[in-house]
């Protein structure tokens, strides 16, 4: 039995007649099926691959270079693939949720890195306080949107 939070984001493409973004949060306390899942990893694109690589290194991830113009960035047991590929509609609709234990401390640590000074297109928001938990947002140099937050117990 697994006991964890599952975050699902479904995004309707920007070229549709109505721009709609649906974000669904679903908390699962136990699953009947056990697939022995070891990890789940997303692939994100980069407008400027080397600039994005440096951004994620500065952010605090460890890089593992792999073939095919791609790198795996990890922090502990969690990670994602950064590709040397850019499709505007794909990157503009990419979102990742990173759950942290203390969102206020995390934002303070991130602000100390001066990422918005070093990277022109990087944006970092203030914390949004919600009924489900708290989060802030970071846009990476290519425009990938990171939600960084903590859930209420």
pLDDT in tens, 46-94: 999 999 999 999 999 999 999 889 999 999 999 999 999 999 999 999 9
pTM of structure: 0.76
Residue 10 or 101, more confident: 101
pLDDT, mean over the chain:
84
Residue 34 or 48, more confident: 48
Q: Does position 19 have pLDDT exceeding 90, yes or no?
A: no
Residue 153: what pLDDT?
A: 83
Q: Predicted confidence band at 13 (pLDDT cuts at 50, 70, 90)? A: very low
DSSP calls for 78-124: EEEEEES---HHHHHT-EEEEE-S-HHHHHHHHHTTTHHHH-TT-EE
Residue 32: what pLDDT?
A: 62
Domains of the chain: 39-151 (3.10.180.10)
Where b means 16+ CB within 10 Å and e means fewer, 80-102 reads bbbeebeeeeebebbbbbbbeee
């Amino acid at each position: 039995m697994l006991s964890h939070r599952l975050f699902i984001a479904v995004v309707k493409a920007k070229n549709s007649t109505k721009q709609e973004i649906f974000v669904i949060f679903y908390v699962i306390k136990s699953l009947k099926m056990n697939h022995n899942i070891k990890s789940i990893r997303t692939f994100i694109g980069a407008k400027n691959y080397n600039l994005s690589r440096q951004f994620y290194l500065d952010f605090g991830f460890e890089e593992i270079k792999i073939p095919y113009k791609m790198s795996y960035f990890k922090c502990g047991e969690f990670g994602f693939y950064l590709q040397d590929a850019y499709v505007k509609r794909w990157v503009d609709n990419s979102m990742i949720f990173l759950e942290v234990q203390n969102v206020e401390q995390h934002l303070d640590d991130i602000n100390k890195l001066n990422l918005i000074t070093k990277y022109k297109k990087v944006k970092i928001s203030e914390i949004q306080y919600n009924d489900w938990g708290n989060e802030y947002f970071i846009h990476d140099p290519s425009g990938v949107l990171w939600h960084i937050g903590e859930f209420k117990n």
